[in-house]
Structure 1
């Protein structure tokens, strides 16, 4: 008895589709999920779903989604770019080169839109998501996902190798204990076997030490994961693969370098991925005769540029004079802080390049130059305009 299901205030209203079947108002169901529902209301909702056969259709939809998701797996950056292009075309208005807030409101709630807007470069300032910013975000997400997948896979491989080693030791212990319990192995036999094992252990003591140090390095210290950009022996390397005994790195030219983990245990390792926001230094020199007001204007122009790029640069920066050399050159340095670490090295270089070009533009606008000191020149031979060399003039006569 009581009211009908569609009239209940605690349940999403039922709707009748064009085919005559009754459905559930999803918008009201979404509001219900964020509000408190009574036990009676939830019971009625479950009964309505079961009676209308929605559970089977939901299961079929989930299975179809799982199959399509497996078939559309992104396996390369090129596929990530193509996927970004397709998503952008489906979300943006036809012919537009950007996504506006109204476009996202068709798929997301207003609070969700405000949450994702800061993820795209320039979206907060303009209120629009450019195609390039969206594509770069998708590619970056793919790279992070790929790095995480490789890290989990290599960790699983290392754990499996350790599991095999531990299983072998446990089997040996079980066999020895079983022989002792059954009385098959006597004390003399155990002494002989133990002496042989000690001999083998002495022969392979370096190997045992290497294995133990490698296990400590991989599972206890664990200074990096697959995909991390590190510095070892002054060389930037990217972790390609991790095993129990060795770690494979990729150099900047894609050359693979194999390091024993026992060797890495004794080396200082710099990890860019685990570092906080990292700084950068740009050194330059100006003429010592440059007026102080121009130097002040230079600092102000640099500050305005950095503050105009809050997604790229931390507002904390400094322009310092390092030294005056030969009374004609003033060495200066610009210390800046990125809003990221140097894991994405191409992006870091791109930001630095833009900053250098901006410095060049500021120097040109302020007419700040550097002049070399006058140089003493000794002429030993002078040529005329037609290329002839004049004969030396002899003064005086015979």
Structure 2
């Protein structure tokens, strides 16, 4: 942000005096000290009854007495000569603009009197006369015309009072229903049409009845008119329903999306108006202290003031006065503002009011920066570099203590107790940017609503035409059913378009994921919303600044992360460090980073906590370290986000080098390099054996749980027993025996005329049986029983068990030892040693 040419760079301190590391990261303006002298305040309160009124059109009016200006209208037809109406024309204008009743009387009475003349004449003198071939008396027809004319204006007045009646009656039940009064105000015309159509149909049916005209049968034209009026009632009801539907979407959308934002923005502008009026009281406009800032602020008013001056007569201004138009034009338009204020009670032309100046300055970035700089320097004392709440209270006075606290709370977003010039500029620029974003978003949404209204109106027009035709021709229903079937069979033609239209409407008006100016992350791409339409949205990429147009139907299926709507955000940074890094070094790194974020110059940007977590050891070759920092704001502003993140990353790199903490592989040089050469030596066998033994003992000594000697001996005995058993049951003796048997069997088979194939098949079958038996014996070794040989139940107890149930708890010592060995009888004891 370029404020003036008096900028000097100031270094940012990373840590405290213990290991300070100066790091030049930000640029701070040199002239960042206040211009207000100590103790200087508003000596006399600037006369403001309620300060700045809540109404956005209110502001400060001048106190200079003005002369009456010549504001007579000028017409091109009279060669720029002033033309004014005569006395009768002035009386007519006064009657028209006096009230709505007088205006309606002027509109209604002349036509009503003209219609009443034939009605009164035929009703009084010729009551039995009929229109030719109509079967309706003349005075009844003119009576219906008179009622139709008066009912149109009567229903118009009634439609204007319906919203107020709705608020009065429904507000008793629930205050939340009052918001629907806005819908009734928006559909006054449609309510008027419905009421008028109903009254016209009812009166026509009454006055055109054959009995009133002494007719036996009703004429055909009366039926036709009845059908037209009935179709008009249906069409007006459909039109009313369509408009109420669109207005309901609009009101709910604006209430949900813009109501809070608009109120907050108006509130911020009102507070800035307080501060600007106090600043002008201390330092008048174009004073030597703020000549540069006031020049930039006044330049923002030139275009509008020049347009206002050109609209008046005698606007041919010499070129030498154009440079002073910001000063002279402001005073002239302020005169108009005073006159308008006296007449209407609103300061609609108060160009010198604080509210108007602030609103105009917020339209441009340079004017917003100048306004912020003027406010900050006029409140901050001399030789001070920060704005405190005491400064605002001192300037505004004790009578405005609450306003001063509210102003400081709005400016001090990070809640650190002071406001720097950079924070002040950023806040004022953000207020202006938010104001423009709200206006752009409302414009785009209004355009989308108009498109939706046009589409629905087109569909409604087709339905209304079909309704009028159906009322006139009863057989048209059958034709309509046939046409509907044909149209339904062709629905595949416009099915995709209808789906996209309805999906876009739901996405935009119901889901509403973003507004104009919001920063969003879509599919890992950072975008800024530039324009919103009914079927598509235009974005601008942050990385390439390209414009991207995406259909809303596609966006409906994607994850949208809205950064602008988020509050304070956090960031996680993952780094890989050496596996040999001591835990004390990691803790030292965390303390250094906490010291950095808690430094007064950095506490405006970051929360005071830094979380450091070791998330993985990977393959024990490196450590994964996650560092989490918390920002005090979101990342809506890309420049601020990049500057803060760069500042933190530079501090992190500096701290890692200071500890130090090395990357994967440690701090050793590469093997074979100039700092770590590779060479070989020859050693004796005895020295090598001792080195291996010493290395093994060193590894054993580092174990947390040393290995037990007994467990080693037991494992060795088990290994010897297993090897002995394997030797006894090895496959070699069996294979040798099998080969001898096979050769012998072959000789026998030759003598007994047997084929070798049969003999080999039988021998291989025996080998498979022997192998299965050997595997079973090996498995049996690990699953042997626990009962001793000869332990059986006594015979006497077996006899008792036939009559009673055996209870081992009642007879614990019933086991007798006998010389009974089942395995010895089977013959397996010799083959399977215990």
The residue aligned with 1:106 is: 395
Shift of 1:156: 1.0
Distance 1:284 1:202, change over 3 A: closer
The residue aligned with 1:236 is: 526
Structure 1 or 2: more helix by fraction: 2
Shift of 1:66: 6.0
Matched, 1:320 2:613: yes
SS at match of 1:135: helix
The residue aligned with 1:37 is: none
Match of residue 359, structure 1, among 649, 652, 659: 652
The residue aligned with 2:408 is: 117
Q: What per-residue deviation string (whole Å, max 9, x for no partner) do you get for residues 118-177 of structure 1?
A: 4446996564x3322211111121222222222211111111111111111222212211
Aligned 1:327-342 pairs, distance under 5 A: 329-342=622-635
Q: Bigger radius of gyration, 1 or 2?
A: 2
The residue aligned with 1:7 is: none
Q: Which moved more, 1:337-346 or 1:219-228?
A: 337-346
Distance 1:212 1:282, change over 3 A: same
SS at match of 2:605: coil
Match of residue 350, structure 1, among 643, 656, 660: 643
SS at match of 1:72: helix
SS at match of 1:259: strand
Q: Contact 1:288–1:327 at 8 Å: present in 2 too?
A: yes
The residue aligned with 2:495 is: 205
Match of residue 670, structure 2, among 366, 369, 375: 375
Shift of 1:277: 3.2
Q: What per-residue deviation string (whole Å, max 9, x for no partner) do you get for residues 308-342 of structure 1?
A: 45543334542112344676644322112223333
The residue aligned with 2:593 is: 302
In 2, the alpha carbon distance for the partners of 1:230 and 1:158 equals 21
Q: Which moved more, 1:73-82 or 1:144-153?
A: 73-82
Shift of 1:94: 7.2
The residue aligned with 1:82 is: 370
Distance 1:341 1:25, change over 3 A: closer
Match of residue 256, structure 1, among 542, 547, 554: 547
The residue aligned with 1:63 is: 348
Matched, 1:133 2:423: yes
In 1, the alpha carbon distance for the partners of 2:343 and 2:639 equals 44
SS at match of 2:348: helix
Q: How many residues align?
A: 334
Structure 1 or 2: more strand by fraction: 1
Q: Which moved more, 1:225-234 or 1:341-350?
A: 341-350
In 1, the alpha carbon distance for the partners of 2:527 and 2:342 equals 50
Match of residue 476, structure 2, among 175, 182, 186: 186
Aligned 1:158-197 pairs, distance under 5 A: 158-183=448-473, 186-191=476-481, 193-194=483-484, 197=487
Aligned 1:206-225 pairs, distance under 5 A: 206-225=496-515
After TM superposition, the score normalised by the length of structure 2 is 0.36
In 1, the alpha carbon distance for the partners of 2:604 and 2:534 equals 40
The residue aligned with 1:387 is: none
SS at match of 1:64: coil
SS at match of 1:356: helix
Q: Contact 2:362–2:431 at 8 Å: present in 1 too?
A: no
In 2, the alpha carbon distance for the partners of 1:365 and 1:72 equals 51
In 2, the alpha carbon distance for the partners of 1:104 and 1:202 equals 70
Distance 1:256 1:185, change over 3 A: farther
SS at match of 1:161: helix
Distance 1:59 1:198, change over 3 A: same
SS at match of 1:65: coil
Of structures 1 and 2, the one with the larger relative CO (CA 8 A, separation 6+) is 2
The residue aligned with 1:382 is: none
Please tell me the root mean square deviation across aligned C-alpha atoms, in Å.
3.8
Distance 1:206 1:360, change over 3 A: closer
The runs of 5 or more residues in structure 1 that have no matched partner are 1-23, 34-52, 380-398
In 2, the alpha carbon distance for the partners of 1:67 and 1:57 equals 16
Q: Which moved more, 1:145-154 or 1:188-197?
A: 188-197
Q: Contact 1:328–1:372 at 8 Å: present in 2 too?
A: no
In 2, the alpha carbon distance for the partners of 1:302 and 1:341 equals 21
After TM superposition, the score normalised by the length of structure 1 is 0.70
Q: Contact 1:117–1:124 at 8 Å: present in 2 too?
A: no
In 2, the alpha carbon distance for the partners of 1:59 and 1:99 equals 39
Q: What per-residue deviation string (whole Å, max 9, x for no partner) do you get for residues 272-320 of structure 1?
A: 2233433211233444444443332222222333344554333454211
Q: Contact 1:281–1:333 at 8 Å: present in 2 too?
A: yes
Q: What per-residue deviation string (whole Å, max 9, x for no partner) do you get for residues 39-94 of structure 1?
A: xxxxxxxxxxxxxx999559677233268738935333233223323444554557
Q: Contact 1:117–1:123 at 8 Å: present in 2 too?
A: no
Shift of 1:220: 1.7
Match of residue 156, structure 1, among 446, 458, 461: 446
Q: Contact 1:230–1:271 at 8 Å: present in 2 too?
A: yes
In 1, the alpha carbon distance for the partners of 2:492 and 2:670 equals 73
Distance 1:126 1:195, change over 3 A: closer
Shift of 1:114: 2.7
The runs of 5 or more residues in structure 2 that have no matched partner are 1-44, 54-337, 675-834
